[in-house]
Amino acid sequence: MRTRRVDAGSVGSLLATLPPTADPREVCSWVRRGEGIIGWGRAREFVSHGEQRFAEAQEWWREQVAHAVVRDEVGLPGCGPVAFGSMAYAVGSPSGGTLVVPEVVVGHRGDDWWVSTIGADEIAPEAEIAVQPEAASPEAVAFADGALSSTEWAARVAEAVRRITAGDLDKVVLARDLRVSAASAIDPRWILSRLSERYANTWVFSVDGLVGATPEMLVRLEKGLVTSRVLAGTIRRTGDDDKDLALAGSLARSSKDLEEHEYAVRSVADALMPHCSSMNVPESPFVLHLPNVMHLATDVAGVLRDGSTSLALAASLHPSAAVCGTPREAADALIAELEEMDRGRYAGVVGWMDASGDGEWGIGLRSGAYEPGDPSQMRIFAGCGIVSGSDPEAEVAESDAKLVPMRDALSG
């Protein structure tokens, strides 16, 4: 493998260098505010299932990098051998977990651009970066109910509130899906470009057919520093700045949303604490403003003490209260009972890892998954945290707001 600096010239956009492909699974992306890494092709791939999917993937990756011949001329995060990965939310999901090592990776950070290439021979082939033909917009896109209609899903929310009120659990996150069909193949590059333009503050990702824009960094590990962004508690934006400012204030004072957020922060801090020598957990959240919604957010940080990889840290955090609930076991069981669908890799772990184990792993939110073997069909997802004060109709409205990024990206 060889990583070398390149002159980006007039390229401008990292995502614009992705070449067309007939298979959405061939496209890899992890980009925020124009920086990050993208890749295409499949030099190596590993698939695992069940409880050990994280551990098996990590062991496979360690074996790969141990035998790799690497020439890294840049030395920045995302250089050298890189594996993009996505892991299913549920242990029993047939989606399992996948690590993909692209044949070509292009990276951009600050003033630096680089290209990494993999070859079977001792010297990896060179690759140049250039602006590729623009992706075509999807044709005749239609949306339909997934496992449940909005009315049926609202009834599931009401049942969850009843269970919480009865003391069965404190919080549960319920998700819903929509089915997407188009007249021809949906180019993932189109979705990525639209999401990047409209949601610059998110991590725009694509791994093995899972595409989306997540605002939630589950865990980042870089040179021993561990960070995690927790989002829980949401309110929809109106588009009026003055009204949105007032809504942000009400969100920051909402007992229901603060309660939901506290559960999520506590679950992350408790999971990371055994791996860290010191931690910083802010006492109060801030309000994160996105184009479609606002979230209560808290950034948790720590210093790694046990040598864990970023993927191992992600495994210890998954599923967090932000996508599952509290207590975890009770919430997970209620999700399986009420949602009536397989989440697949929605709300699972998605991101990348380098040869040292450093990397970034987000939660696969605001996302959609291509149906196997048919690039004209997708499922898109959204979920909401349910606590004792939740109102079913309000939760439906919140889920609709969270579906907006993918719906808009697919609609042109």
SS3 of the chain: the string is CEEEECCCCCCCCCHHHCCCCCCHHHEEEEEECCEEEEEECCCEEEEECCCCHHHHHHHHHHHHHHCCCCEECCCCCCCCCEEEEEECCCCCCCCCEEEEECCEEEEEECCEEEEEECCCCCCCCCCCCCCCCCCCCCCCCEEEECCCCHHHHHHHHHHHHHHHHCCCCCEEEEEEEEEEECCCCCCHHHHHHHHHHHCCCCEEEEECCEEEEECCEEEEEECCEEEEEEEEEEEECCCCHHHHHHHHHHHHHCHHHHHHHHHHHHHHHHHHHHHEEEEECCCCCEEEECCCEEEEEEEEEEEECCCCCHHHHHHHHCCCCCCCEECHHHHHHHHHHHCCCCCCCCCCEEEEEECCCCEEEEECCCEEEEECCEEEEEEEEEEEEECCCCCHHHHHHHHHHHHHHHHHHHCC
Active site residue 171: yes
Structure tokens at 247: 């809504």
Rounded distance between C-alpha atoms, residue 212 and residue 228, angstroms: 19
Catalytic residue among 216, 260, 262, 360: 216
Catalytic residue among 26, 56, 171, 402: 171
Rounded distance between C-alpha atoms, residue 207 and residue 72, angstroms: 24
Rounded distance between C-alpha atoms, residue 302 and residue 273, angstroms: 8
Active site residue 216: yes
Neighbours of 142 (CB within 10 A): 10
Structure tokens at 185: 């193949």
Rounded distance between C-alpha atoms, residue 36 and residue 38, angstroms: 7
Q: Which residues are catalytic?
A: 171, 216
